[in-house]
Every structure is written in structure tokens, then in C-alpha cells.
């Protein structure tokens, strides 16, 4: 098991991506401390992990509250002895589908402020205890707009770019203590809750958007939640012991080149 004997704290574990990562960490042997503001989805994640033979504990923690986060990290250290992995997947209340010149300042700046506040709070809380251990991995998650210009994403694109920059800067400061900070950039998972809700509410519009971003990828498919979770498992493991200060791109090539002009038909030989 890649994460055997490791303790992982996951913020936003009641969400689709956070829950998937929690289950993947547990399958690889980690004890996962799942947190969020709503206990019901956390209990569901814990029940699923425990019933499958894994180890998980739930706690109601507001990842925007510095005191709550620090108190919880300290509690994990007292009970488990060490914190090896910290992963933040909370939502940042972004509003999209509006051009910037028509967006309000509040709607634009909200996701930037929320992203920076929660990433700073959770990452530095983990880093403090990891510095004493001289080991640990701090992971974060962004999306395609963090790597290229993307229209009508409001403050989400700048928030992603800021998170990626913060992860790099953090890695440069804590690396001397044996701590790694790595960001994962996803293209969006069609089996995640936001995509499912969009398809249920407006299938025509959501389907059209989904097809567009699929066409932008090199492989003509998007990463599923399990794909992102698998990347997180690898980066949290000792197999990635020399990877830090970077964003690992899981956008299926989208931020390297928009590939909507190329199809397999173009390669058919007469």
C-alpha cells in the first residue's frame, strides 16, 4: 500500500472530489481525517471507508476558520502522533458564465479571497507540525483556467493562478524541512457533483459545454474523479518524494495546447 501508516487530513471531504480522494487514500492504507462544515456527508464518507476495511474519522471543521483548523490539526497530532498529508478541496463559491465587464466586484473577488484564505490557513497549519516532523506533503487542487486564459470564468481563473503560485512559494520555504507542496490541475471531472447538477438543471447547455471542453483535450476525454484521486495518491506517497514546488497537470493536455481542431478523422489515410 502506497500510503500505509500515513495520516491524512482532508478539507471539504464531504464534496465529490474530496470524498473520492479520501476513499483513495484509505484504500492505500492511510488513516484519513475527513473534515467539513456539514457532518452528514462526512459520516457517509467515513461509513463507506470503514465498511471497506479502511480507517477514517470525521470532524466538523470550518476550513475558513484559523482557530478551528489549528485546533483540529493539534488534536490529530495528539491522537495519531503525526500528520503526513494535508489536502484542501473546499468550494470557493465562484460565479461563472458572465463576462468580466459585466461582473460585480463582489462576485469577482469572492473566490480569490476564499481560495487564498483557506489555502493559507490549512497549508500553514499543516506545515507547522510537519516542520517538527521534517516530513509531509501538502496538496491542493486547481483547474484548467490556472494554466491559460479562459473566458467567462470570473474570479475562478485568477483564484486558480493564485493557488498555484502560493503552492510554489510555500514549497520553496518548507522544502528545507523535508516538506513537499504540490498542486494538481484538473480539466474538470464529469462525474463530479457540479457537472452532474449542471446536467440535471440544464442538460442542453451543460452538455454543449461539456462537449466543448472534451474537444479541447488531447485524448478527447476528461479526467474522472478517480483519475484525480489516483494522482493525489501518487503525489502523497514516497514514490513522489522528489516532486515539489510544481503543478501536476491532469487536464489531458488542455493547458499545453487546445486541441479542438484535431480529430481522429484527420489521420485517416485514403
User: Chunked in runs of 10, what are the mean pLDDT values of the chain (270 residues)?
Assistant: 97 96 98 97 98 98 98 98 98 94 97 98 98 98 95 96 98 98 96 84 86 91 96 98 98 88 61
**Residue 159 falls inside a structural domain:** yes
User: Has residue 210 been placed in a domain?
Assistant: no
Domain around 178:
7-189+223-256
Asked if 218 and 253 count as a contact pair (C-beta separation under 8 A), the reply is: yes
Give a yes or no: residue 267 inside a domain.
Answer: no
Beta-carbon count within 10 A of 75 CB = 14
Q: Each residue of 192-245: pLDDT tens digit?
A: 888 888 788 888 888 888 898 999 999 999 999 999 999 999 999 999 999 999
| Max Cα–Cα distance, the chain, nearest Å | 69
pLDDT at 257: 86
DSSP designation for 167? H
Residue for grid cell 454543449? 208
DSSP string, 43-84: HHHHHHHHHTT-EEEEEE--TT-HHHHHHHHHHHHHHHS---
Contact 3, 49 (CB under 8 A): no
Q: How many domains does the chain have?
A: 1
Residue entry with cell 500553514: 124
Strands 136-143, 247-250: parallel, antiparallel or unpaired by DSSP?
A: unpaired
- Is position 39 within any domain? yes
CATH of the domain at 169: 3.40.50.720
CA dist., res. 216 & res. 261, Å (int): 8
Q: Which pTM does this prediction carry?
A: 0.94
Amino acid at each position: 500500500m502506497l500510503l500505509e501508516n500515513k495520516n491524512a487530513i482532508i478539507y471539504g471531504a464531504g464534496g465529490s472530489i474530496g470524498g473520492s480522494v479520501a476513499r483513495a487514500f484509505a484504500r492505500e492504507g492511510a488513516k484519513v481525517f475527513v473534515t467539513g462544515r456539514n457532518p452528514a456527508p462526512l459520516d457517509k464518507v467515513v461509513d463507506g471507508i470503514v465498511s471497506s476495511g479502511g480507517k477514517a474519522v470525521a470532524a466538523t471543521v470550518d476550513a475558513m476558520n484559523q482557530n478551528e483548523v489549528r485546533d483540529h490539526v493539534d488534536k490529530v497530532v495528539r491522537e495519531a502522533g503525526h500528520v503526513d498529508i494535508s489536502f484542501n478541496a473546499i468550494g470557493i463559491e465562484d460565479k461563472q458564465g458572465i463576462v468580466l465587464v459585466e461582473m460585480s466586484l463582489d462576485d469577482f473577488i469572492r473566490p480569490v479571497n476564499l481560495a487564498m484564505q483557506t489555502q493559507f490557513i490549512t497549508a500553514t497549519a499543516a506545515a507547522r507540525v510537519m516542520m517538527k516532523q521534517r516530513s509531509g506533503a501538502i496538496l491542493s487542487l486547481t483547474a484548467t483556467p490556472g494554466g491559460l486564459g479562459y473566458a467567462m470564468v470570473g474570479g475562478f481563473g485568477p483564484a486558480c493562478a493564485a493557488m498555484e503560485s502560493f503552492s510554489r512559494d510555500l514549497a520553496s520555504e518548507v522544502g528545507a524541512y523535508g516538506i513537499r507542496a504540490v498542486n494538481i490541475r484538473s480539466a474538470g471531472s464529469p462525474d463530479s457533483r457540479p457537472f452532474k447538477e449542471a446536467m440535471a438543471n440544464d442538460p442542453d447547455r451543460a452538455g454543449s459545454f461539456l462537449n466543448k471542453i472534451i474537444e479541447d483535450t488531447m485524448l478527447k476525454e476528461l479526467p474522472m474523479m478517480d483519475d484525480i484521486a489516483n494522482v493525489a495518491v501518487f503525489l502523497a506517497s514516497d514514490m513522489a518524494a522528489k516532486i515539489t514546488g510544481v503543478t501536476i497537470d491532469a487536464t489531458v493536455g488542455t493547458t499545453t495546447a487546445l486541441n479542438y481542431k484535431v480529430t481522429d478523422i484527420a489521420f485517416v489515410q485514403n
